[in-house]
Amino acid sequence: MKEKVVLAYSGGLDTTALIPWLKETFDYEVIACCVDCGQGNELDGLEERAKLSGASKLYIENIVDEFCDEFIMPCVKAGAVYEHKYLLGTSMARPAIVKALVKVARQEGATTICHGATGQGNDQIRFELGIKALAPDLKIIAPWRMTDLWKMGSRDDELAFVEAHGIHLPFDHSHSYSRDRNLWHISHEGLELENPANEPNYAHMLVLSVTPEMAPDEPEYVTMTFEKGIPTSLNGQKMKVSDIIKELNVLGGKHGIGITDIVENRVVGMKSRGIYETPGGTILMAAHEQLEELILDRDTMETKKKLGSQFAQIVYEGKWFTPLREAIQAFVDVTQEYVTGEVKFRLYKGNIIKAGTTSPYSLYSESLASFTTGDMYDHNDASGFITLFGLPLKVRAMKMAELKKQETR
């Protein structure tokens, strides 16, 4: 009886070529597993293609709601943004995919999981750290690093390989970007983006969005409610998180929101340039922050900001299934206990413009913040506060002046 390998299958060129390659190279029975994180029409025709390529079975695991509730929302609540710009669309999807792959491997009694991530990128780390954490007994095959066995060095080589095996793909990769898509975002790499000196060809590239220049000339108001940091309604309609993100993607894409050109530092040490479209995610992150700033006290917000940056790095580096991620997430969940209320904003040509925020837990005091502060705040108290707050500066300045005087004697 042949050993079984579960292949992380997208239906693209790389993973299509992997099916016959795994059979010929290792004599495996190949179980293809496509994990649906909201890729949309990319899933069309997958079953026929997988079987035609030689897979004995195809699983399509729909985890859209799990992805939103258990992976996206912890990152939103943490305010996790990698290197100030990247909203972790691919990074947080990988552990969700790994969880599904391990589940299928257990169901099938497979001994091995195979992924098609290259030896230059971050995804190989994310896939393999996740597998090691959830199923340390399973073997891992990463063909792009097996240069003694994997002889295809380019997409042209892969196209020739699949054609030779009678697999005719309904698309041409020779003039397209390398993309990764899920409900949260779509990323674009390759072609002119490989040179940071080049301006992106947005007219050819964008899938979810239009550029701000092409967005409507009229703004659009949006209202959202949150309960304990989680979005619960959009424009007065109660919705689950996945549906809210879908609707925000449409709204954000229409108004040119969330198009980001990034040169990021990969885990493996190189810099990489890409364009990310995250229309709904950008709006959701901004709306959550708009509410949160009304509710969190200064010290909690400052600590959360630092831990949010660390949380982003943990997720980016593929360390989702770690005690540290769990611990930071537990802290974040405590901070979200009172992040409940309503936010209103305008979308206009790439901008998210605040239009009002309310919460029963708001720490904003109009009487304190206004120029007529009333009984709760005595302006004279500031004098003593500033004296003590500035005491270290004054003491140091006096000491430096004394030393300077001694040097001139």
> Do 135 and 220 belong together in one domain?
no
pLDDT of residue 222: 98
Comparing CA positions, the residue from 19, 12, 75 lying closest to residue 46 is: 12
The last residue of one of the domains, among 176, 194, 228, is 176
Q: Give the active site residue among 36, 49, 91, 94.
A: 94
Give domain status of residue 406, yes or no. no
Percent with pLDDT over 70 in the chain: 97
Residue 408 pLDDT level (bands cut at 50, 70, 90): confident
For residue 304, pLDDT over 70 is answered with yes
pLDDT value of residue 393: 96
pLDDT at position 169 is: 80
- As beta bridge partners, residue 220 has 347
What's the pLDDT score for residue 370?
67
137 in catalytic set: no
Among the candidates 176, 204, 227, a domain finishes at 176
**Residues 376-405: what's their mean pLDDT?**
91
Q: Is 229 exposed, middle or buried (0-12, 13-18, 19+ CB in 10 A)?
A: buried
Residues 250 and 106 in one domain: no
pLDDT in tens, 7-28: 999 998 899 999 999 999 999 9
Instruction: Kindly state whether residues 12 and 31 are assigned to the same domain.
Output: yes
234 forms bridges with which residues in the sheet?
224, 237
CA distances from 103 to 125, 131, 321, 326, 353 (A): 19, 11, 15, 21, 43
18 and 134 in a common domain: yes
* 389 lies in some domain: no
* Whether residue 245 is found in the same domain as residue 129: no
Q: What is the pLDDT of residue 361?
A: 98
pLDDT at 190 over 70: yes
Catalytic residue from among 49, 91, 123, 181: 123
Same domain, 27 and 65: yes
Say whether both 256 and 352 belong to one domain. yes
Give the chain's end-to-end CA distance (angstroms, integer): 94
Nearest CA to 143 among 26, 52, 258? 26
pLDDT surpassing 70 at residue 172: no
pLDDT (average), residues 155-163: 89
Neighbours of 269 (CB within 10 A): 7
Tell me the average pLDDT across 98-125.
97
71 and 100 in a single domain? The answer is yes
Are residues 242 and 350 both part of a single domain? yes
Kindly state whether residue 109 falls inside one of the protein's structural domains: yes
Please give the structure tokens belonging to residue 34: 């496509």
pLDDT confidence bin for 174, thresholds 50/70/90: low
Whether 364 is covered by a domain: the verdict is no
Residue 385 has pLDDT above 90, yes or no: yes
Domain count, the chain: 2
Q: Is it the case that residue 374 has pLDDT exceeding 80?
A: no
178 is catalytic: yes
Catalytic residue, from 56, 176, 178, 233: name it. Answer: 178
Q: Which residue among 14, 36, 180, 359 is the active-site one?
A: 14
Tell me the per-residue pLDDT of 72-95, one tens digit each, with 9 for 90 and over. Answer: 999 999 999 999 999 999 999 999
The answer on pLDDT for 358 being more than 70 is yes
Give residue for tokens 């098609």: 116
In this prediction, residue 175 carries a pLDDT of 60
**Which range of residues forms the domain containing residue 246?**
185-296+339-358
Q: Look at residues 153, 176, 199 and tell me which one is the last residue of a structural domain.
A: 176
Phi, psi of 232 (to 5 degrees): -125, -20
C-beta separation of 135 from 109 below 8 A? no
Does 320 reside within a domain?
Answer: no
- The reply to whether 68 and 169 lie within a common domain is yes
- Residues 47 and 25: their CA atoms lie apart, in Å, by 23
Annotation says 94 is catalytic: yes
**What is the distance between the alpha carbons of residues 29 and 189, in angstroms, rounded to a whole number?**
32
On whether the CB atoms of residues 17 and 162 are closer than 8 A, the answer is: yes
The CATH number of whichever domain residue 145 belongs to comes to 3.40.50.620
Query: Quick one: tokens of 132?
Result: 């090691």
- Judge whether 402 lies within some domain: no
- Note whether residue 206 is domain-resident: yes
CATH code of the domain in which 197 resides: 3.90.1260.10
351-362: string of b/e by CB count within 10 Å (b at 16+)?
ebeeeebebeee
Cα-based angle 79, 82, 84 (whole degrees, multiple of 5): 80
Q: Both 64 and 146 in a single domain?
A: yes
Range with top average pLDDT, 151-165, 168-182, 347-361, 377-391: 347-361
Domain presence at residue 395: no
Helix, strand counts (H, E) of the chain: 15, 14
What is residue 317's predicted lDDT score, i.e. its pLDDT? 98
Residues 6+ apart with CB under 8 A from 155: 13, 173, 174
pLDDT of residue 247: 98
Question: pLDDT band for position 371 (50/70/90)?
Answer: low
Residues 127 and 193 in one domain: no
